[in-house]
Amino acid sequence: MKYLVFSDIPKVLHSSKTKKPFDKCVMCEKELLSENSYYFIEKAFNQNIQNGTKDVLFEYAICMDCHEKIAKDLSKESLERIKMYFDLYVDFDERDTILFNKRERIDFADWVSECVISKKNVAQLKEYQIAAMCYEDKVMYGSLPMAIGFEAADELQQLLSKETKDTIDRFQNYIFPPKVWDEIPSKRLIFI
């Protein structure tokens, strides 16, 4: 992971409720735009492929401390399987080289234009999600940002152990409003 390049946080990563950058951790409510704050944003979209309109299926921002606490509860076995899965499909060094050299000024859209696993253009996907690492009011570029289509997200879920699924379920119940629990067809957080 390099994460040496930064850009402003694009609108697509803003909170759909406030239309502004996320400013609080979903778990501990810590200020995210403050000095020396590292955090992770994930957003999932449900898209009308015909006309390109999309709804936010879920979204959250979580500070690194809370992220680490949850990650600690994920089983070693699951993390190894997730790593193997990504290793199988993604050469992150090659991806970095291509994306960093694509244009003079970094463009967030380049990094989330296709599913990192299937390489399908997200414009062709009914559901997909994006994840990014942020520092204060900037996005950091390295292995993230990335987009993942629903098929790959489902495959990832199948690699998780029962205890890891339970941990993620607990977190998921916390971030999703109850009204969407039935609308999300399967568990699909990137969260790694």
Residue numbers of the site for Zn ion (CB under 5 A)?
Answer: 25, 27-28, 30, 63, 66
Least Å from the CB of residue 179 to Zn ion: 24
CB-nearer residue toward Zn ion: 59 or 114: 59
177: preceding bond cis by omega (within 30 degrees): no
Least Å from the CB of residue 117 to Zn ion: 28
Show Cβ contacts of residue 155 under 8 Å, excluding neighbours closer than 6 positions.
85, 117
Least Å from the CB of residue 133 to Zn ion: 14
Q: Is 100 exposed, middle or buried (0-12, 13-18, 19+ CB in 10 A)?
A: middle
CB-nearer residue toward Zn ion: 68 or 163: 68
Instruction: List the one residue out of 186, 161, 3 whose CA is nearest residue 82.
Output: 161
Least Å from the CB of residue 24 to Zn ion: 8
Q: How distant is the alpha carbon of residue 181 from its chain centre?
A: 19
CB-nearer residue toward Zn ion: 68 or 183: 68
CB-nearer residue toward Zn ion: 28 or 123: 28
